Amino acid sequence: MMMPEKRSLLTVTLLMALILQLPGCGNSLQRKVTGAWKVDVGEDLFEMIGDEEGVSESRSRFMIEFASGGIFRSSVTASGYTQKKEGRWLFLEGAADICKLEVFINSNKSDIKPDNILTEVKFVDENTIELIPPNMDAIKHKMVFRRAR
């Protein structure tokens, strides 16, 4: 039979080992989400915004980037017009295949109050994510993005 002091020491040691492992899960998801992502060609985004030409590499495209250093960028091109937004992103938490981010769009412009958006990113696989794009939060439409090469 184990002495109470040794059992307490073992319990504390096991708890510390578990606590030290938890941030590793989040760090792994943070590394996975970092990078550039382009909208999946099967998305109906361009129909929703009235681009009759649809998605093609030369005309319509939508990219988001969660760059290292906490920089967020997005670019939407449709009907010959490109809209770009920039800001900052912050990894809040992650578990299994879902992570939560906070994105501050226009945080680099002193004359505009930044939009503060919470978004949830689901990893479908290593190169595919699903989320409501932070720069299009008002439409509340989840979209599939593939890692840009």
Rounded CA-CA distance 72/84 in Å is 11
Q: CA–CA separation, 109 vs 117, rounded Å? A: 16
The per-residue pLDDT for 79 is 80
Sign for the CA dihedral angle at 29, 34, 38, 39 comes to positive
Q: What is the pLDDT along the chain (149 residues), one digit of tens a residue?
A: 556 665 565 554 544 444 434 444 557 889 999 999 999 876 665 555 555 554 444 556 899 999 999 999 999 988 888 999 999 999 999 998 999 999 999 866 777 777 899 999 999 999 999 999 998 878 888 999 999 97
Quote the CA–CA distance of 110 and 104 in Å, as a whole number: 13
Burial track 100-124 (b if 16+ CB lie within 10 A, e otherwise): bbebbbbbeeeeeeebebebebebe
Task: Look at residue 94 in the predicted model and tell me its pLDDT.
Answer: 93
Residue type, position 63, single letter: M
- pLDDT of 72: 95
In the chain, what are the domains? Answer: 4-147 (2.40.128.280)
